[in-house]
Chain A
Amino acid sequence: MTGNPRLTLADVKVGTAHEAKVVDNLSRTQIVQYAAGSGDFNPIHHDETFATKVAGYPSVFAHGMLTMGLTGRMLTDWLGDGVLKSFGVRFVKQVFPGDSLVAKATVKEVQEQGGEGLVELELVTVNQRGEPVVQGSATAVLPR
């Protein structure tokens, strides 16, 4: 075990669920901060004129990767650090300034092998209207 797990296999079984509010009233500042952190300066995420007049969106919107990163924060805060084996999402809806997001994980399968186990999770992050913004899956290794 090279990671820093916060849970053991005793804490999870099929159907175990966890959720966390990962952003409340998303600010344009956070979107700009993410642009600088990630290097993605598509103006659609920070230039209101470009986003509305050129691209035809109601306003600038968050990078999909910001929403994925916020979803990842829920996972690592719950499961621990360095325990993920895979993490994938589909971006299903834009996230706009002012949105609030809750990220949820549900255990779909647990496979024990030796002193540890592989936990498969289903993920969904929803906005304040309950609409999914990302859907995906992750696998994590937890100790017995």
Chain B
Amino acid sequence: MSDGHSFHVDRTGILLFASALGETNPIYWDEDAAKRTNLGGVIAPPTFAISAAHWNPDYALKGVRRIPASKPKDAPAAGASGGRGGGGGGMNLARVLHGEQRFEYHKPLRPGMTLTVTTRPGKSWSKEGKKGGKMNFSESVSEYRDEKGELVVVATSVGIVTEKAVEG
């Protein structure tokens, strides 16, 4: 279990994420319209929790970003909140696949929340693939808790590392 990292939820992050999904639902950006619903304000789309990757210093697929800065090397690896893969470095990006993703929802994700994301390894197993050789599966479970320590979302990711490239 990692110490976790913060995830600051804001309206711009939700807007960018919802736009990429082609969303037309005003609940994701129109505060006035959202206030008139039972939800009482803007919320995030169901898969938004994955974007906690932006705030994960150990996320392996962050591109050229150097912020948030990586933790010291002796800090525990923060696993894969917001995506698969372990603590960066040495990861062969051409051989990593996202096998499964599950979310359990406890509360709506709302702008203004600062969540703490902790990730622990789940099950791991392997099997022979048809084209890609041996496939190694590993699960990681990320808990997203609010300022009161209450669960908001639990995200479970299954990553697959293949021996060879797997074609669609």
Q: Which residues in A have some Cβ–Cβ distance to B below 8 Å?
A: 1-4, 22-23, 30, 33-44, 50, 54-58, 61, 63-66, 68-70, 72-73, 75-77, 81-82, 84-91, 93-94, 96
Listed A/B pairs (7) with beta-carbon separation below 8 Å: A37-B51, A39-B82, A42-B61, A69-B45, A73-B23, A81-B27, A85-B105
Please give, as numbers and ranges, the residues of chain B lying within 8 Å of A36 by CB-CB distance.
16, 20
Name which residue of chain A comes closest to B168, CB basis.
Answer: A94
Cβ distance B50 to chain A, nearest Cβ, rounded Å: 5
**Judging by beta carbons under 8 Å apart, are B21 and A90 in contact?**
no
**Once the chains bind, are B50 and A41 in contact (CB under 8 Å)?**
no
| Contact (Cβ within 8 A) A37 B16 | yes
* Interchain CB contact under 8 A, B168 and A61: yes
Interface size on B, residues (CB 8 A): 48
**Contact between B38 and A3, CB atoms less than 8 A apart:** yes
- In the bound complex, CA of A23 to CA of B20 (Å): 11
CB of B101 closer than 8 Å to a CB of A: yes
Are A4 and B45 closer than 8 Å at their CB atoms?
Answer: no
Task: List the 3 closest A-B pairs by CB distance, nearest first.
Answer: A41-B63, A88-B102, A55-B94
Please report which residues of chain B, range 39-66, place their CB below 8 angstroms from some CB of chain A when the two chains form the complex.
39, 43, 45-47, 50-51, 53-54, 59, 61-65
| 4 new A-B contacts at CB < 8 Å, known A70-B21, A73-B22 | A38-B53, A73-B45, A90-B99, A91-B101
Given known A37-B51, A65-B98, A89-B101, contact A81–B37 (CB-CB < 8 A): yes
- Partner among B53, B97, B105 whose Cβ is within 8 Å of the Cβ of A84: B105
A75 engages B93 (CB within 8 Å) = no
Nearest A residue to B46, CB-CB = A72
Residues of A within 8 A of B168 (CB): 57-58, 61, 93-94, 96
Residues in A with CB closer than 8 Å to B37 are: 4, 81
A86 to B51, alpha carbons, bound, how many Å?
18
Chain A hits for B98, CB < 8 A: 63-65, 91
Return chain B residues, CB-CB under 8 Å to A33. Answer: 16, 19-20
Decide if B165 touches A56 in the complex (CB within 8 Å): yes
Q: List, in ascending order, chain B residues with CB within 8 A of A86's CB.
A: 102-105
Closest A-chain residue to B63, C-beta based?
A: A41
Determine which of B19, B61, B101 lies in contact with A88 in the assembled complex, contact meaning CB atoms within 8 Å: B101
Which of A2, A23, A44, A77 sits near B94, CB closer than 8 Å? A44
Asked if A84 and B46 make an inter-chain contact with CB atoms under 8 angstroms apart, the answer reads yes
- B102 contacts A57, CB within 8 Å? no
- Cβ-defined contact, A39 with B20, below 8 A: no
